[in-house]
């Protein structure tokens, strides 16, 4: 069963404490908090877990008055947040009371047809509870008095939020379907690839609804294997704000990656690897997913220059060195060059993702490492000693090393060990988890 991927957006006018509430709910200090109205201009997001459920929490800029210079910019960003969200936390200032702009925001939220929870902030003590009553005039059923600064009634707010979040996805996992998320920057051709893959006369099993505001997931059979394609395209071109589109493409990518086994990272041959591509690849690696890189629009390269193609592939490998030599497929969604090779390559990565290496083979690896590598030391003559290793998990493959002192392990050595495991286990495109544990001395 997959983890749910709902989005909860914090909406409200400037300086009511939205960013303070955001930081309180995620238990980290991410949002910029300042007494100057309008400090938060872009959205921030983080994953929150509460009572066995998870959701993405999005912080937005303060809802502006029409006479403010950034009215159009911030207003469109907030519109996008409302569009993406399944639940809205509408924050008002209990000390100031309900202002005309709050009523205007309430009207917009009612038209959005989303679940709305009114969080009346700055209710720091029980004596402030009567300030709640005015907020009921906004017309929403759920009104909770909180103090983001003093952590008052925050659990009650979270309880209410997760009461509107489904704990299960809308499809049942059969254990035999390989789930592939198609991710990447806007305009690299994700939707064209998705449509081409499902548009052929293959055995289309069913169209399965994804999360609340996601595009349709499609399950198909290719050469006897079942695949679930999770499309992250579908951002409407309503917004021309580059940063806004990139923000939500990254959010959608992370939500899709959560639900997948293998991530298909799509690049554009005319632009190749950007910082956002690296961020998406890093998210996939952090979440322990298999990775395949697809370089789209390969047909745009001039003919008769094979070295140019080789140099492009080398550059991609160099830029994405941290994803363990992930397979690269050069494709064209337009001409369908190598398009259906994607299924086979993703299937191979999926198989490696679940591979288990015998303990005897692992310990042979350790002998080779010890023979040819200078082991880390504390600089005082005490060197790392590896006694044995065992694989403790798959999907992703995870290994536990028993050593004399785990504090002697440095990052370069750990990277070398991971590279050896990638070679021996043929774990190309598969994240590796390595853990170090001190072996207790025998009495």
CATH no. for residue 313?
Answer: 3.40.50.300
> Do the annotations mark residue 166 as ligand-binding?
no
Q: Does residue 33 have a pLDDT over 80? A: no
87 labelled ligand-binding: no
Phi-psi region of 325 (alpha: psi -120 to 50; beta: other; left: phi over 0): left
| Model confidence pLDDT, tens digit, residues 111-130 | 888 999 999 999 988 888 88
- Which range among 4-13, 131-140, 260-269, 375-384 shows the weakest confidence by mean pLDDT? 4-13
Q: Is 231 annotated as a binding residue?
A: yes
Question: Has residue 195 been placed in a domain?
Answer: yes
CA–CA dist 415, 412 (Å, integer): 5
> 3-class SS at 301?
coil
| Number of domains the chain contains | 3
Residue 171 confidence (pLDDT): 41
* 403 marked among binding-site residues: no
- Name the domain boundary from 304, 329, 353: 353
User: Residue 170: pLDDT above 50?
Assistant: no
Give the pLDDT of residue 35. 43
CB 249 within 8 A of CB 185: yes
Joined together, the tokens standing for residue 344 give 């086979």
* pLDDT(131) > 90: no
* Predicted confidence (pLDDT) at residue 443 exceeds the cutoff of 70: no
297 is in an annotated binding site: yes
* Residues 379 and 313 occupy one common structural domain: no
Residue 375 lies in a domain: yes
Confidence (pLDDT) at 66: 60
171 in any annotated domain: no
Does 235 carry a binding-site annotation? yes
Q: Are residues 329 and 274 in the same domain?
A: yes
The predicted model scores a pTM of 0.69
Of the pLDDT bands very low, low, confident and very high (cuts 50, 70, 90), residue 198 is: confident
- 310 exposure class (CB count in 10 Å sphere: 0-12, 13-18, 19+): exposed
Please report whether residue 152 resides in a domain.
yes
Task: Indicate if 17 and 60 belong to the same structural domain.
Answer: yes
Higher pLDDT, 291 or 175: 291
Tell me whether residue 80 is annotated as binding. no
Task: Return the SS3 of 177.
Answer: strand
16, 158: one domain: yes
Do 335 and 205 share a structural domain? yes
Is 282 one of the annotated binding-site residues? no
- The upper half-sphere exposure of residue 50, i.e. CA atoms within 13 Å in the direction of its Cβ, equals 23
Q: What helix, strand, coil percent values describe the chain, rounded to 5?
A: 35, 25, 40
**Residue 232 or 136, more confident:** 136
Residue 190 marked ligand-binding:
yes
| The predicted structure's pLDDT at residue 49 | 87
| Among 18, 10, 15, residue whose Cα is nearest residue 87 | 10
Has 116 been labeled as part of a binding site? no
Q: Is 188 annotated among the ligand-binding residues?
A: yes
Based on the fold, state whether residues 259 and 386 are members of the same structural domain. Answer: no
Q: Which of 163, 190, 224 is a domain's end point?
A: 163
User: Which H/E stretch holds residue 178?
Assistant: strand 177-183
- Asked whether residue 64 falls in the same domain as residue 93, the answer is yes
Would you say residue 443 lies in a domain? no
CA separation, residue 12 to residues 60, 106, 116, 232 (Å):
8, 9, 12, 28
**Per-residue model confidence as pLDDT tens digits over 371-401:** 777 789 988 888 998 888 999 999 999 999 9
Judge whether 311 is annotated as a binding position.
Answer: no
- Would you say residue 368 lies in a domain? yes
Calculate helix-pair angle for 341-353, 190-199, nearest 10 degrees: 100
Is 123 annotated to bind a ligand? Reply is yes
Question: Residue 294: is it exposed, middle or buried by C-beta count within 10 angstroms (0-12/13-18/19+)?
Answer: buried
One domain, residues 338 and 407: no
Q: Decide if pLDDT at 87 tops 70.
A: yes
Q: What is the mean pLDDT of the chain?
A: 82
Are residues 299 and 385 both part of a single domain?
no
Residues 131, 56, single domain; the answer is yes
* Same domain for 230 and 156: no
- Is 12 annotated for ligand binding? yes
**156 three-class SS:** helix
Residues 291 and 402 in one domain: no
Known binding residue 394? Answer is no
Pairing of strands 142-145, 177-183: unpaired
Task: Let me know if residue 75 belongs to a domain.
Answer: yes
Summarised one tens digit per residue, pLDDT across range 244-255 is 556 666 777 888
The angle, 0 to 180 degrees and rounded to 10, between the axes of the packed helices 71-84 and 242-258 is 20
Q: Give the mean pLDDT of 142-156.
A: 93
Task: Report whether pLDDT(10) > 80.
Answer: yes
Torsion of CA 65, 70, 73, 79, to 10 degrees: -20
Question: Is 132 annotated among the ligand-binding residues?
Answer: no
Residue after which a domain boundary falls, among 163, 198, 223: 163
> According to the annotation, is 186 in a ligand binding site?
yes
Q: What is the mean pLDDT of residues 438-442?
A: 72
Per the structure, the complete domain to which residue 60 belongs is given by: 6-163
Whole-number Å distance between alpha carbons of 107 and 130: 24
Q: Is 347 annotated as a binding residue?
A: no
15: in domain: yes
Question: Residues 213-235: pLDDT tens digits?
Answer: 444 578 888 998 999 998 876 44
The answer to whether residue 3 scores a pLDDT higher than 60 is no
**Residue 41 labeled ligand binder:** no
């Amino acid at each position: 069963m997959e983890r749910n991927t709902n989005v909860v957006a914090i909406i409200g006018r400037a300086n009511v404490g939205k960013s303070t509430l955001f930081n309180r709910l995620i238990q980290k200090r991410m949002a910029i908090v300042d007494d100057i109205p309008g400090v938060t201009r872009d959205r921030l997001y983080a994953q929150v877990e509460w009572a066995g459920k998870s959701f993405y929490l999005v912080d937005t800029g303060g809802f502006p008055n029409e006479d403010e210079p950034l009215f159009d910019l911030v207003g469109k960003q907030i519109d996008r947040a409302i569009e993406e969200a399944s639940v809205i936390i509408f924050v008002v200032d209990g000390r100031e009371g309900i202002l005309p702009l709050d009523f205007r925001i309430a009207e917009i939220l009612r038209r959005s047809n989303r679940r709305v929870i009114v969080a009346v902030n700055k209710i720091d003590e029980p004596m402030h509870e009567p300030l709640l009553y005015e907020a009921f005039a906004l017309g929403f059923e759920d009104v909770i008095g909180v103090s983001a600064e003093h952590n008052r009634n925050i659990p009650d707010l979270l309880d209410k939020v997760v009461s509107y979040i489904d704990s299960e996805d809308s499809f049942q996992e059969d254990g035999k379907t390989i789930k592939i998320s198609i991710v990447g920057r806007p305009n690299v051709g994700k939707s064209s690839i998705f449509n081409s893959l499902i548009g052929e006369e293959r055995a289309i099993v069913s169209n399965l609804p994804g999360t609340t505001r996601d595009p349709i997931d499609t399950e198909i059979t290719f050469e006897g294997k079942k695949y679930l394609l999770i499309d992250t395209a579908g951002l409407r071109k309503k917004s021309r704000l580059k940063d806004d589109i990139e923000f939500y493409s990254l959010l959608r990518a992370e939500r899709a990656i959560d639900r997948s086994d293998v991530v298909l990272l799509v690049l554009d041959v005319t632009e190749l690897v950007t910082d956002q591509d690296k961020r998406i690849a890093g998210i996939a690696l952090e979440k322990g997913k298999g990775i395949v890189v697809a370089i789209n629009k390969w047909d745009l390269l001039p003919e008769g220059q094979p070295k140019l193609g080789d140099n492009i592939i080398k550059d991609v490998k160099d830029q994405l060195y941290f994803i363990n030599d992930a397979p690269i497929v050069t494709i064209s969604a337009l001409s369908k060059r190598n398009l259906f090779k994607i299924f086979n390559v993703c299937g191979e990565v999926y198989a490696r993702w679940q591979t288990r290496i015998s303990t005897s083979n692992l310990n042979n690896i350790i002998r080779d490492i010890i023979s040819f590598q200078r082991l880390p030391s504390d600089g005082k003559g005490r060197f790392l000693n590896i006694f044995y290793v065992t694989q403790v998990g798959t999907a992703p493959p995870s290994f536990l090393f028993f050593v004399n002192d785990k504090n002697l392990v440095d990052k370069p050595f750990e990277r070398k060990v991971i590279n050896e495991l990638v070679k021996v286990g043929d774990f190309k495109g598969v994240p590796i988890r390595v853990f170090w544990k001190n072996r207790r001395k025998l009495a």
